């Protein structure tokens, strides 16, 4: 469902030319849970942003369900982001002035898919992740781990086909980080949503079925391509 082909993202030119992503190619099947690993500066955020339509490629292509994301007009790309992709970032995921519930249904509202069933599903999921008593709370009243859980609920309830999560556990303590990881794994298994998560957290990497390792903007290993990696 995701096919990345010879993707490059460069910054600057001449002596200042920097390859944030260089010649990246891989495929991800629908429903996979894939971790992009690599040290800070290896190109994880750049790659997630290009795949998720938040940034454009310098060359190469990204196909998602046969849509060539890298060839969409700005308007079509905005619709693609709204309708197809759920985003989880390291922090500042939630709109500060909206309640937990309103944050969780925000993308569904924008998609005009906020049906009764969708509201109920969102409430059930918030309850399931321990936020049932926080529906009317503002993000500032939640812990970092609770905020990330609400952000993940939003990303998976909005009927997106792909969730990109950029170091979602990086600002959390280990207990909260484990909870977030388990939540993403379970939602991946239950809903079949494809999840791409970047991390340099060993626990995240160890728990993944498939790890794509980046260094200096390039893929240096892919546990699937190597035939291993089943956890």
Residues of this chain that interact with ligand ADP (CB under 6 A) are 11, 18, 20, 38, 40-46
User: Of 42, 45, 70, 176, which one interacts with Mg ion (CB under 5 A)?
Assistant: 45
- Compute the least distance from the CB of residue 162 to Mg ion, in Å: 18
C-alpha 215, offset from chain centre: 20
- Compute the least distance from the CB of residue 122 to ligand ADP, in Å: 30
- Compute the least distance from the CB of residue 71 to ligand ADP, in Å: 22
- The answer to whether the CB of 26 falls within 8 A of the CB of 49 is no
* Burial (CB count within 10 angstroms: exposed 0-12, middle 13-18, buried 19+), residue 80: middle
Cβ distance to Mg ion smaller for residue 45 or 223: 45
Cβ distance to Mg ion smaller for residue 200 or 209: 200
| Residues whose CB falls within 8 Å of the CB of residue 183, separated by 6 or more in sequence, listed in order | 129, 149, 152
Cβ distance to Mg ion smaller for residue 167 or 224: 167
| Residues whose CB falls within 8 Å of the CB of residue 124, separated by 6 or more in sequence, listed in order | none
Note whether 147 binds Mg ion by CB under 5 A. no
Cβ distance to ligand ADP smaller for residue 11 or 29: 11
Out of ligand ADP, Mg ion, none, what residue 20 binds, judged by CB under 5 to 8 A for its kind, is ligand ADP
Read off φ and ψ for residue 24, nearest 5 degrees.
-90, 125
Q: Which residues of 184-201 are buried (b: 16+ CB within 10 A; e: fewer)?
A: bbebbeebebbbbbbbbb
| Nearest residue to the partner Mg ion, using Cβ | 45
State how far the alpha carbon of 89 is from the alpha carbons of 103, 104, 151, in Å: 14, 15, 9
- Compute the least distance from the CB of residue 59 to ligand ADP, in Å: 16
**Residue 163, token pair as written in the block:** 């969730």
Cβ distance to ligand ADP smaller for residue 11 or 173: 11
Out of ligand ADP, Mg ion, none, what residue 53 binds, judged by CB under 5 to 8 A for its kind, is none
- Compute the least distance from the CB of residue 114 to ligand ADP, in Å: 33
């Amino acid at each position: 469902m995701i096919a990345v082909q010879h993707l490059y993202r460069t910054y600057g030119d001449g002596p200042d030319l920097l390859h944030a992503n260089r010649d990246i190619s891989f495929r991800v099947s629908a429903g996979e849970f894939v971790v992009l690993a690599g040290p800070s500066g290896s190109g994880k955020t750049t790659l997630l942003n290009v795949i998720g339509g938040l940034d454009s490629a310098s060359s190469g292509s990204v196909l998602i369900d046969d849509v060539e994301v890298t060839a969409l007009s700005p308007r079509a790309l905005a619709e693609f982001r709204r309708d197809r992709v759920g985003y989880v970032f390291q922090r500042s995921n939630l709109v500060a002035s909206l309640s937990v519930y309103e944050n969780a249904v925000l993308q569904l509202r924008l998609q005009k898919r906020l049906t009764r069933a969708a509201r109920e599903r969102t409430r059930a999921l918030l309850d399931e992740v321990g936020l049932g008593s926080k529906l009317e709370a503002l993000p500032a009243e939640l812990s970092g781990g609770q905020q990330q859980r609400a952000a993940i609920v939003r990303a998976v309830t909005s009927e997106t086909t792909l969730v990109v999560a950029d170091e979602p556990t990086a600002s959390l303590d280990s207990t909260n980080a484990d909870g977030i990881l388990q939540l993403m794994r379970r939602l991946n298994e239950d809903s079949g949503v494809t999840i791409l998560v970047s991390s340099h957290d060993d626990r995240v990497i160890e728990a993944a079925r498939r790890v794509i390792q980046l260094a200096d903007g390039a893929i240096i290993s892919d546990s699937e391509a190597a035939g291993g990696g089943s956890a």
